[in-house]
């Protein structure tokens, strides 16, 4: 049984159709990376899965439950968490408050969850009271991922987690992603510069011009010369 199934999704912004019937499947415990050029519809797909955009056709199911057209505040309760590419933190709030917001839909004590997140991102525990707006890009990305993990989701959706990060910071982020995955969490990553991401992915697929045009295991995609030339900056 797959965790997430996307079936012939058509979606976009207003009259502008970006996705023209995309299929996608995420299995439990795997990392799936979607690569593709700018404007291919990668972020649109993420937003549609999460209910920020409403598809005009097709269906999305999470754990065999139909979530097509469900609003984000409903989707988040089912065990999906989403880290947008940009503006993925609350800048005027502190690190701790950002994490608390991640668990907004939960009641009760959050201390255990917070300590679990800070085990993954130790750098955060020293900066509890820092306003996230004053933090660096790498630290913000940690806050953003930490916030998403507060809900203890079953599927973590990351939109370009390494975008705008220095190479060493990007490496740290991917190392964290791998650690998160080892705890059993499924991860769906969208990446433009996707070599690092594909390297740790079970599977990858290529999205171009609003259609999925290729799918294979991570290593196979990395080895594929055509894809390398077209989408991974060539050799």
What residue ranges bind other proteins (CB under 8 A)? 50, 52, 71-73, 76-77, 82, 84, 87-93, 97, 100-102, 104-105, 133, 147, 151
Give 39 or 91: the residue with its C-beta nearer to other proteins. Answer: 91
Residue 216: C-alpha distances to residues 33, 34, 54, 204 (Å): 10, 11, 28, 6
Least distance from other proteins to the Cβ atom of residue 129, Å: 12
Q: How far apart are CA 216 and CA 24, in angstroms?
A: 12
Q: Which residue(s) pair with 215 in the sheet? A: 205
Give 82 or 121: the residue with its C-beta nearer to other proteins. Answer: 82
Give 18 or 151: the residue with its C-beta nearer to other proteins. Answer: 151
Least distance from other proteins to the Cβ atom of residue 144, Å: 9
H-run or E-run covering 167: helix 167-182
Least distance from other proteins to the Cβ atom of residue 188, Å: 15
Give 72 or 233: the residue with its C-beta nearer to other proteins. Answer: 72
Q: State the Cα angle at 170 between 76 and 218, rounded to 5°.
A: 75
Find the radius of gyration of the CA atoms of the chain.
Answer: 17
Indicate left, alpha or beta for 203 from its phi (over 0: left) and psi (-120 to 50: alpha).
beta
The two three-digit tokens of residue 194, written as one number: 């996707």
Q: Which residue(s) pair with 10 in the sheet? A: 20, 57
Least distance from other proteins to the Cβ atom of residue 87, Å: 6
Least distance from other proteins to the Cβ atom of residue 217, Å: 30
Give 102 or 204: the residue with its C-beta nearer to other proteins. Answer: 102
């Amino acid at each position: 049984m797959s965790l997430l199934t996307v079936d012939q999704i058509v979606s976009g912004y207003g009259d502008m159709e970006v996705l023209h019937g995309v299929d996608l499947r995420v299995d439990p415990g795997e990392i799936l990376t979607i690569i593709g050029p700018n404007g291919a519809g990668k972020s649109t797909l993420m937003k549609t899965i999460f209910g920020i955009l409403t598809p005009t056709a097709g269906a999305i199911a999470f754990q065999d439950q139909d979530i097509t057209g469900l609003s984000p505040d409903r989707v988040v309760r089912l065990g999906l968490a989403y880290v947008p590419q940009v503006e993925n933190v609350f800048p005027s709030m502190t690190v701790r408050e950002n994490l608390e917001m991640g668990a907004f839909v939960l009641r009760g004590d959050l201390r255990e969850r917070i300590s679990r997140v800070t085990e993954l991102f130790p750098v955060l525990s020293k900066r509890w009271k820092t306003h996230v707006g004053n933090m660096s890009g790498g630290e913000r990305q940690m806050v953003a991922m930490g916030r998403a993990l507060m809900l203890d989701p079953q599927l973590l959706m990351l939109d370009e987690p390494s975008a705008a990060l220095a190479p060493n910071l990007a490496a740290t982020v991917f190392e964290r992603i791998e650690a998160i995955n080892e705890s059993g969490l499924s991860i769906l990553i969208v990446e433009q510069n996707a070599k690092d991401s594909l390297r740790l992915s079970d599977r990858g697929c290529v999205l171009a011009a609003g259609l999925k045009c290729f799918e294979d295991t991570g290593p196979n995609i990395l080895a594929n010369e055509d894809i390398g030339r077209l989408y991974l900056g060539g050799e």
